[in-house]
Amino acid sequence: MSTPTLEKSAASAESEAPAHLITVTFRVRRFNPEISDQATWQDFQLEIDPKERVLDGLHKIKWDHDGTLTFRRSCAHGICGSDAMRINGKNRLACKTLIKDINPSKPITVEPIKGLTVLKDLVVDMEPFFQAYRDVMPFLITKGNEPTRERLQSAEDRERFDDTTKCILCAACTSSCPVFWNDGQYFGPAAIVNAHRFIFDSRDEAGEQRLEILNDKDGVWRCRTTFNCTDACPRGIEVTKAIQEVKRALITRRF
């Protein structure tokens, strides 16, 4: 019942790939401890719309080519922070990276994020990352009785820490930090960002404790202001700036 034009386009789609599709090579870092102790590169050729995301490419591989490819993703819309990976050498969310933006004429390399133990393919052990997150007590701490209504805050007070509330804990920043690569003891940018979110919250009363934790030898003082974290953050948080603000708070508290 369709018009002749539609019939024609449907017919051409069966015979050859539609014109908007391009051929892209995905070069994926594969690791399976049940087969080998070595990680290897594997190439996949895909016919894909350049306006699709890297995650769509990975789905295509997993669903149509090789079901053993393992990676994390949940919401696939840049909110859950599950699919941070190293794409063309840069930490990004696979679900927020369009193929046309990362030069599809060359092979697109996809690796697990660095500095964390690779469990399989693109899945890493996030435990050290979340350990550092827990260590900074990322929850509201107050004294006295609970108020009968919500804790009010002025718009200016809210604005103070607005940037660091955007964190989705994807670990793109922490796993882009060279200090974290070399020494997993460093708290890492993500933990400091989430400490910053409560240190500068006017309603919170444990800022002192958090500053004391970050004053430690593996705390903010190990930051070399490399700015890798700010570049890597898929939410556009000014991570290095937040770390510097914690440093300044520590110094002004002291002097």
Partner 1 sequence: MSAETTTPATETVSLYDVDNPAPVIAPPRARTKKTPKSTRTNFELYGWLFMRLSGVVLVVLVLGHLLIQLVLDGGVSKIGFAFVAGRWASPFWQAWDLVMLWLAMLHGANGLRTVINDYAERPKTRFWLKNLLYAATVFTVLLGTLVIFTFDPNIR
Which CB, 46 or 167, lies closer to partner 1? Answer: 46
Burial class of 8 by CB neighbour count within 10 A (0 to 12, 13 to 18, 19+): exposed
- Indicate whether 130 belongs to the interface with partner 1 (CB under 8 A): no
Select the span of 4-12, 176-184, 196-204, 236-244 touching partner 1 (CB under 8 A).
176-184
Which residues within the stretch 9-68 sit at the binding site for partner 1 (CB under 8 A)? 27, 33-38, 40-46, 61, 64-66
- Strand 123-124 versus strand 84-87 pairing type: unpaired
Which CB, 130 or 165, lies closer to partner 1? Answer: 130
Distance CA 53, CA 70 (A): 17
Nearest residue to 104 (alpha-carbon basis) of 47, 60, 59:
47
Kindly tell me which residue out of 86, 92, 196, 222 binds partner 1, with binding defined by CB under 8 A.
Answer: 222
Which CB, 155 or 251, lies closer to partner 1? Answer: 251
Structure tokens at 82: 């599950």
Q: What is the dihedral of CA 220, 226, 232, 236, to 10 degrees?
A: 70
Tally of CB atoms within 10 A around 105:
9
Distance CA 176, CA 193 (A): 15
Which CB, 165 or 244, lies closer to partner 1? Answer: 244
Which CB, 149 or 254, lies closer to partner 1? Answer: 254
Which CB, 33 or 140, lies closer to partner 1? Answer: 33
**CA neighbours within 13 Å on the CB side: how many for 22?**
14
Q: Which residues contact 247 (CB under 8 A, 6 or more apart)?
A: 220, 221, 223
Element (H, E) at 5: helix 4-15
- Indicate whether 184 belongs to the interface with partner 1 (CB under 8 A): yes
Closest separation in Å from C-beta 187 to partner 1: 11
- Indicate whether 213 belongs to the interface with partner 1 (CB under 8 A): yes
- Indicate whether 217 belongs to the interface with partner 1 (CB under 8 A): yes
Select the span of 79-87, 179-187, 201-209, 235-243 touching partner 1 (CB under 8 A).
179-187
Closest separation in Å from C-beta 117 to partner 1: 5
Distance CA 115, CA 165 (A): 24
Structure tokens at 99: 């193929």
- By CB under 8 A, name the binding residues for partner 1: 27, 33-38, 40-46, 61, 64-66, 115-119, 125, 128, 131, 178-179, 181-185, 212-213, 215-219, 221-222, 247, 250-251, 254
